[in-house]
Structure 1
Amino acid sequence: MDTRYMLGARRRARGAARPIILAVVAVIVLLAAASWFLIFRPHQELVAADAGGHPSTPVTVGHAAAPPVNVEAMSVNQLLAEASKAMKEQRYLAPEGNNAFEFYLKVLQKQPGNQVASDALRETFPFAASAAEQTINQRNFDEAQREIDLLSKADPTNFTLTILRSKLDAQRKTLDQEQQKQLDQQHQQQLAAQKAAADKAAAEKLAQQQAAAEAAKRQQALAAQQQAQQQATAAPAPESAAPASAGATRDAVLTRQVNPRYPTSAQRAGIEGWVEVDFTVDVEGDVRDAKVAEAQPRHVFDRSALEAVNRWKFEPAMRDGKPVASQLRRRIQFKLRQ
């Protein structure tokens, strides 16, 4: 047979088969589209309408207004009606005694194999699981456990239950850790408050001791001054008395001593030491040009020592009965216990 004739016959056969294939594909596409719009889509819309939305949609309807009902006294039809109502109100698992899952489970208990209840539990399971997850996130752990137990009665082998139980355990551990952290913080605050109170009491005690020491020194200085005045009054004037210009000669006498303030940082650190201060007592008995000569340790008590010395008061030194300025050095001790 002629080869050209065979090739032409094959081309005509392929050309005749191509429209048939295209027609078959078009019919399949039309059937799929019709199935989607006429069967699957209405079914999904019905499930979504009964359940209140997508399983990931947060449940916002309150359950406090739905009191428990006596499911034992209700017929199968009544239970199905109440279950449908609960589904529309998104009462999948709560409140206890008045929710869709309990109604459907009671239907299956009274009438095993009820297709409506079985289908509803299966189709609603994702929505109910989402509600249980929100209860876990709200840290209502007892209610979450009850809802998980209710889900397990409907589908005990569903892997979602394992996820929910894991989330519940994780939230419980997180809450325990947060509570423990709060307890630790409260304990630290109590310790800090106790330490602050102890430091305050120690500072007050030190201030009282310093005030008592200052008062004792003032009393001693006053007594010495009174004794000197009495001796000067009782002593008879010699016949060959010196002229008025050749009066008494003495050093400056401290009449008011102000104890230094103990630095808070040194007190807390338990540091003791001393500072030697050089200063001038002018003719009025006031301290001038006070500066640190030596200190141990350095730069810890210097400021407190200078502040105290600058507030001291003296009777000026006397030379031939006349007040004169004088140079003095004093060591100031800083001790935590006296």
Structure 2
Amino acid sequence: MDTRYTYIAHRRVRGAVRPVAIAIVAIIAALAAAAWLLIIRPYQQQMRLDSGGVPAVSAAAKSQAEAAPANVQAMDVNQLLAEASKALKDQRLLAPAGNNAFEFYLRVLAKQPDNPVATSALRETFPYAASDAEQAVNSRDLNEAQREIDLLAKADPANYTLTILRSKLDAQRKLASQQQQQAQDQQKAAQLAAQKAATEKQEAAKQAEQQQAQLAAEQAAKAKQQRLEQQQQAAAQEKAPPAPAAAVASVETTDAVQLNKIIANYPTAALRSGQSGWVVVGFTITPEGRTSDVHVVDAQPRHVFDRAATEAVSRYRFKPAMRDGTAVASTKQQKIEFSTGR
């Protein structure tokens, strides 16, 4: 074979292989880009969300929220696609309401149901938009999360991601409801505790007032009793006839004589139980005719009627003992009996 024709054939083969290789490289690059956008990047973003991260947002979107364009209803398909592209650039996928890529693309499909640009854009950006919705759920912006999930459902109602997002939203709502109920319970418990403390304080003040009133009444009754005894003693002295001179001379030395009769108060507990007993009380009669050093000598039973007996003796009044015409102190013992039949 002529070598000239062989060389020409080789050049033709090499010329045919070069476009095929270029096409293969282009296809591989396109597949790699698609894998990055549709698989690797959504996965990485989901991993950041699961670990508490926040998806990247452009500085312009963070610094300011662009106002929604006026009269969106009157826009044509091209205008809506331009607004959607602008929203995508600013990463306004689902928010703010009325000014995001998904709403613009859905308006395009409402006008042109088969528009390939809107259909493809919604499908490709769905994972990123779902991440935005999940971020709203995790931040407990529950109303905004519900709006964004509803918007995703309009774009792809059968997507399984919606089931996950709705489940997470329901869990956050239950948690928020439980925390709100706990806060209400704690507030109610605090109110009840405050009311109880106020009631106890009022009751304590009321009891203290009653005790003071009772003490004042007892003191008033005791003072009245003393005045009555003094009046009785004075009346008895006035009514006593003057002793004859011979009698006076004969009674210059006499024992003490009791002037009043005091009945001891029967203890309430003993009276209710029908208990009887007696107390021997020793005491001193002063030259003024009063009793002092009142004490229990013996009693049966012990410590039941002691106080009642000593209180009664303390109110005794005497004509003091006389020695050579002079009043002197004297001692005496008296047995006081307590019987339910008295």
Aligning the two structures, in what range does the TM-score lie when normalised by the shorter sequence?
A: 0.5 to 0.7
Q: Please tell me whether residue 58 in structure 1 is matched to residue 27 in structure 2.
A: no
Greater displacement, 91-100 / 66-75: 66-75
Cα 1:38–1:214, aligned 2, differ >3 Å: closer, same or farther? same
By how many angstroms is 1:115 displaced? 3.1
By how many angstroms is 1:87 displaced? 2.1
The residue aligned with 1:95 is 96
Write the letter of the residue equivalent to 1:154: A
* Residues 87 and 93, structure 2, Cα contact 8 Å, conserved in 1: yes
Q: In 2, Cα distance between the equivalents of 1:330 and 1:150?
A: 91
By how many angstroms is 1:136 displaced? 2.3
Write the letter of the residue equivalent to 1:58: V
Cα 1:228–1:116, aligned 2, differ >3 Å: closer, same or farther? same
Deviations 1:220-244 (A, max 9, x none): 111222233344555269844669x
TM-score by length of 2: 0.54
By how many angstroms is 1:319 displaced? 1.6
Cα 1:205–1:39, aligned 2, differ >3 Å: closer, same or farther? same
Cα 1:133–1:318, aligned 2, differ >3 Å: closer, same or farther? same
* Residues 248 and 320, structure 1, Cα contact 8 Å, conserved in 2: no
CA RMSD of aligned residues (A): 4.4
Q: In 1, Cα distance between the equivalents of 2:102 and 2:63?
A: 14
Q: Please tell me whether residue 319 in structure 1 is matched to residue 284 in structure 2.
A: yes
Cα 1:241–1:73, aligned 2, differ >3 Å: closer, same or farther? farther
Deviations 1:28-48 (A, max 9, x none): xx99x9679944555577789
The residue aligned with 1:200 is 201
By how many angstroms is 1:167 displaced? 1.8
- Name the SS for the 1:65 alignment partner: coil
The residue aligned with 1:126 is 127
- Answer with 1 or 2: which has the greater Rg: 2
By how many angstroms is 1:83 displaced? 1.9
Q: In 1, Cα distance between the equivalents of 2:65 and 2:252?
A: 114
Write the letter of the residue equivalent to 1:140: D
Write the letter of the residue equivalent to 2:45: H
Q: In 2, Cα distance between the equivalents of 1:152 and 1:63?
A: 29
* Residues 45 and 131, structure 2, Cα contact 8 Å, conserved in 1: no
Write the letter of the residue equivalent to 2:217: A
The residue aligned with 2:221 is 220
Q: In 2, Cα distance between the equivalents of 1:221 and 1:178?
A: 64
- Name the SS for the 2:157 alignment partner: coil
The residue aligned with 2:276 is none
* Residues 94 and 102, structure 2, Cα contact 8 Å, conserved in 1: yes
Cα 1:242–1:221, aligned 2, differ >3 Å: closer, same or farther? farther
Deviations 1:307-326 (A, max 9, x none): xxxxxxxxxx9624285374
- Name the SS for the 2:45 alignment partner: coil
Q: In 2, Cα distance between the equivalents of 1:78 and 1:45?
A: 29
Write the letter of the residue equivalent to 1:110: K
Deviations 1:76-124 (A, max 9, x none): 3332332232223221111111001111222333334333322221221
Greater displacement, 37-46 / 141-150: 37-46
Q: Please tell me whether residue 178 in structure 1 is matched to residue 182 in structure 2.
A: no
The residue aligned with 1:258 is none
Q: In 2, Cα distance between the equivalents of 1:126 and 1:249?
A: 113
Deviations 1:194-215 (A, max 9, x none): 4444433333333222222111
The residue aligned with 1:154 is 155
* Residues 284 and 294, structure 2, Cα contact 8 Å, conserved in 1: no
The residue aligned with 1:68 is 68
* Residues 132 and 147, structure 1, Cα contact 8 Å, conserved in 2: yes
Structure 1 gap segments, 5+ residues each: 1-29, 251-273, 276-316, 332-338
Runs of 4+ that moved beyond 6 A? 33-37, 44-48, 245-250
Q: In 2, Cα distance between the equivalents of 1:330 and 1:114?
A: 109
Percent identity at matched positions? 49
Deviations 1:243-265 (A, max 9, x none): 9x989999xxxxxxxxxxxxxxx
Q: In 2, Cα distance between the equivalents of 1:199 and 1:211?
A: 18
Structure 2 gap segments, 5+ residues each: 1-20, 261-267, 270-281, 297-302, 309-342
Q: In the comparison of the two structures, how many residue pairs are matched?
A: 235
The residue aligned with 2:277 is none
- Name the SS for the 1:54 alignment partner: helix
Q: In 2, Cα distance between the equivalents of 1:90 and 1:249?
A: 113
- Name the SS for the 1:319 alignment partner: strand
Q: In 1, Cα distance between the equivalents of 2:307 and 2:80?
A: 100
Q: In 1, Cα distance between the equivalents of 2:209 and 2:173?
A: 54
